[in-house]
Amino acid sequence: MTTVTRQQYFTALANFGGMDELYQAIPADPNSPDWVDFWSAETISSGDDIAQLTQTALGWSDGQMIALFNAAQNVPVVVPATSNTVTSTAANQINGALRLLGVLAEGETPSAETAQDALFALNQMIDSWNTERLAVFSTQDEVFLWPAGELSRTLGPSGDFQGNRPVLVDDSTYFRDPQTNVSYGVKLINQQQYNGIAVKTVTSTYPQVMFVNMSYPDIEMYVYPKPLRQLEWHFVSVSELTNPATLGTTLAFPPGYLRAFRYNLACELAPEFGVEPSAQVQRIAMYSKRNLKRINNPGDIMSMPYSIVGTRQRYNIFAGNY
């Protein structure tokens, strides 16, 4: 019995011109267990169920299948490149930043007090980056059930919804109706717009807008109209960058972050030592962070409000509405 990888099998099948025939032979239910196993198999052997499925679908002879496996054996296997992610500890980042400032020489280490002060500065810097949307590389989706008939809820470590307090609720937040399995977007409004709603207790099957008060430690959320159904809400916000707890904590971040941390930390620490970072250090700090923001761009699409495009109404800058 000949065994080949999934990659070798489908490459040989494509070379034999069988892929187009195979797609045409797929039954009306491509999600059937047999076809799911067919497309997800890591290895395929001559004579097994997957090979027989191919032979039956294409109407090939045993000789054609033997030729297919012989050709598959000669297909080079492409091994994915291993990750070259560079890891570092908080201490390494701190020592590197201090060397950039000339505070440490090669091979020297800071005192325990200096290292702890620098760790505090590193955590402060990372905490500040959490408030910059483009400095954060991913988002989190916190899911909670909003009870029917409730006008407001709180979200945070001690809120009605106990979870992470969002730095800022993203406008991609949405809710899903468990009864219909249909999802709906919600428009985020500010406090002035919410306060302008005359009767806030109006009910409806689904809410249309939500006002978020970024209180602490729990945020307050108000919807309008008040929903008549229990809804599954997905509160989307940025995933905060991980703060190193100790000097020995390993910093695990996507490519580009360690360089940005080191050079920007040097600029953060410079005033504490009464030195001025060199122009090159400042330039690299700026460019490295700019590169992160470029890659973390969520790809927002610029568009005109529907009320302008669809109804040609003019926005009243004094009233704050159309």
Return per-residue pLDDT of the chain as tens, 322 residues: 678 887 787 787 777 776 666 666 665 455 566 666 666 677 888 878 778 877 887 788 888 888 888 888 887 765 555 455 567 899 999 999 999 999 988 888 899 999 999 999 999 999 999 999 999 999 999 999 999 999 999 999 999 999 899 999 998 999 999 999 999 999 999 999 999 999 999 999 999 999 999 999 999 999 999 999 999 999 999 999 999 999 999 998 999 999 999 999 999 999 999 999 999 999 999 999 999 999 988 776 666 665 556 555 666 666 666 6
Tokens of 113: 């007090």
Q: Which of these, 260, 263, 242, lies nearest to 252 by C-alpha position?
A: 242
Q: What value does the CA radius of gyration of the chain take, rounded to a whole number of Å?
A: 29
Number of domains, the chain: 3
pLDDT value of position 113: 93
- 169 with 220, same domain: the answer is yes
pLDDT tens per residue across span 190-231: 999 999 999 999 999 999 999 999 999 999 999 999 999 999
- 187 with 206, same domain: the answer is yes
Domain span at residue 155 reads: 139-238
- 184 with 46, same domain: the answer is no
- 156 with 278, same domain: the answer is no
Answer for the pair 187, 305: CB distance below 8 angstroms, yes or no: no
- 152 with 279, same domain: the answer is no
- 16 with 161, same domain: the answer is no
CB contact set of 189 (below 8 Å; sequence gap of 6+): 209, 210, 211
Location of structure tokens 């990659």: 7
Q: Which of these, 185, 204, 195, 198, lies nearest to 222 by C-alpha position?
A: 195
- 57 with 41, same domain: the answer is yes
Reported pTM: 0.66
Alpha helices per DSSP H over the chain: 6-15, 18-25, 33-40, 49-58, 62-73, 90-100, 112-129, 191-195, 257-269, 279-295, 306-311
Tokens of 203: 């009910």
Task: Give the CATH number, domain containing residue 98.
Answer: 1.10.3230.20
- 149 with 229, same domain: the answer is yes
